[in-house]
Amino acid sequence: MNFLRNFLASILGSLVAFGIIMVMFFFFLALMGSGDDGVVVKKNSVLEIEFLAPIKDYVGKDEADPFAGFWGPEMGLDEIIHAIKVAKEDEHIKGISLTTGFLQAGMAQTREIRKALLDFKESGKFITSHSDFYAQKDYYLASVADEVYLNPVGSLDFKGLATEVLYYKDLQEKSGIKMEVIRHGKYKSAVEPFLSNTMSDENRTQIQELLTSIWDVMVDDISESRQIAPENLNTIADTLGGRLPKYAVASGLLDGTLYFDEYEDLLKSKIGVGEDDELNYVSLTDYVDKAKTRKLETGSDKIAVIYAQGEIFFGEGGKDYIGQGLIVDALKKAVKNENIKAIVFRVDSPGGSALVSDIIWREMQLAKKEKPLVVSFGNVAASGGYYIGVGGDKIFAEPTTITGSIGVFGTIPNINELAGTVGINAEQVGTNKNSVDYSVFEPMTDSFRDVVQEGIEDVYTTFLSRVAQGRNMTVEQVDALAQGRVWSGVDAKANGLVDELGDLDDAIAAAAEMANLSDYGIRKYPRYKTDFERFMEDLGGMKSKLGASVIEEEIGTEAYKLLKEFKELGKQEGIQAKMPFNLNIK
């Protein structure tokens, strides 16, 4: 009787759940159908650029997806750049108002947006900026404007770059949970936090030089836009000369302080409308949708742009991580498509699985035998991210790109000490000498460590050979630049790890030149799952997603980030070619 009752209850529950899903589905369809027939840009409009969500290089939106945007606002760098280019030629757009704060983008992405805004200014249209608070990255972007304003009681952060690395050796000893580490490379400090409580001289050196190189690029760009000498900008940073609005104005970082209503009056005067008239704003989100109807590259010949973004894991891949499935499929499609004459491979990755990196590298080798293949490095192209890109015919990097990190490591969790403390004893039985190779409940044996170390050395040697082949260097030359050390794009260009400094547009232009194309269109890969597909796939995981949200709210964002880092370690299978640390530069 209980069985029948439970069976009927489960059927009823399934029917109710299905009914709810269908109601939601048609509700969203109705909402979409009730909207306007598109974004209308009125005369004398101002494009308002405000970034409310993290920026990815590419989000691959499907306009036919009824659930598009269901997961919240998301915007691709490619969409943003395209919208700014279209606005430059749009006679209804008279200027741009930058009102962003807490920009969630990498340094290379920020610089590409900045470059697009510089190009916009060539049209003679104005760009102004206003914020209640400028973080350093926000100010770096805003400094491109003709005029930069701050709330009179707001603040501006301008003090130079810094980062923080956490160390866990004491935590491991106190908890009895530790990470067994096998590595190659004196600079391979991804695992250093598990081995020490202090930063090594090698790690401190590379971080210092990396931050200095990126800061120098920022200072030079701000200097050109604000007409302040680089040495004066560094003095301002050293003395916190922008810490109060009046100081920031006096130092030249700002043009003045205005409340937002006063700022809007300024915009009205620039457009030539009365103070009592309403400003015609068009948001960047809406204008992105509008700009999609305008193709800037329309040739029948195509250049494929393949986006590889996120950490590298074994599997299909998606918007948030690189797997061999989607990337290999995209490369094959680009090669087989007769209309595609060249390929640009865009990388934004700190690395990950060495195995997957080599699988993608191999497919890159096959692709470039058929068509010109140019690589563009975004925010990060380090370790495995560099590995997958080194196979291209030519490599472009932004000056602020973090790249290199040629090295490998392996981390294996061990809870032997904790198990002993709580009274757990594990006994193993096997048929052969090495059939029981490793248990988290037992100390790592020397023989097992030797086997893993041999694998690490073999992968490192292979990595060196891939780079040597791609960069026309000797293995010894690569090894001198390797050891897991990271470089800025500027330094990578100087030491031969990349060919040119430039953004994605520069890489596309180079690919067009190599393929002898003067008129061409762009085709983007890969195709990601639609939001509807994601909704159906993740419906069963809603509880866990809500739980994660609650945990973050309870323990705080910083603690939650640390928790996520430990969780990510559990996903690392096999030998890793990964960037040596998680850098939050601020």
Active site residues: 188, 383
Using alpha carbons, select from 78, 122, 296, 165 the residue that is nearest to residue 581. 165
CA distance 78 to 524: 10
CA distance 135 to 159: 10
* The 3-state secondary structure of 351-369, one letter per residue: EEEHHHHHHHHHHHHHHHH
Q: Strand pairing of 576-578 and 351-353?
A: antiparallel
Burial call 550-581: b when 16+ CB within 10 Å, e when fewer: eeeeeeeeeebeeeeeeeeeeebeebbbbbbb
Would you state the structure tokens that stand for residue 569, as one six-digit string?
A: 């370690």
- Please, are residues 359 and 329 in contact by the beta-carbon 8 Å criterion? no
Give Cβ neighbours of residue 502 (< 8 Å, ≥ 6 apart): 376, 396, 397, 398, 510
Q: Which of 537, 387, 364 is nearest to 460 (CA)?
A: 387
Other residues' Cβ atoms within 10 Å of the Cβ of residue 29: 12
User: What six digits make up the tokens of 36?
Assistant: 């306007």
Token couple for 472 = 């026309």
Please list, residue by residue across 44-73, b when 16 or more beta carbons sit within 10 angstroms of its beta carbon and e when fewer do.
Answer: ebbbbbebeeebbbbbbbeeebbbbeeeee
Q: In three state form, how does the secondary structure of 264-303 look?
A: HHHHHHHHCCCCCCCCEEEEHHHHHHHHCCCCCCECCCEE
C-alpha 39/C-alpha 51 separation (Å) is 19
Residue 48 has phi, psi (to 5 degrees) of -95, 115
Q: Could you write out the DSSP letters of every residue in 87-147?
A: HHH-TTEEEEEE---S--S-HHHHHHHHHHHHHHHTTT-EEEEEEEEE-HHHHHHHTTSSE
* Strands 93-98 and 302-309, bridge-based pairing: unpaired
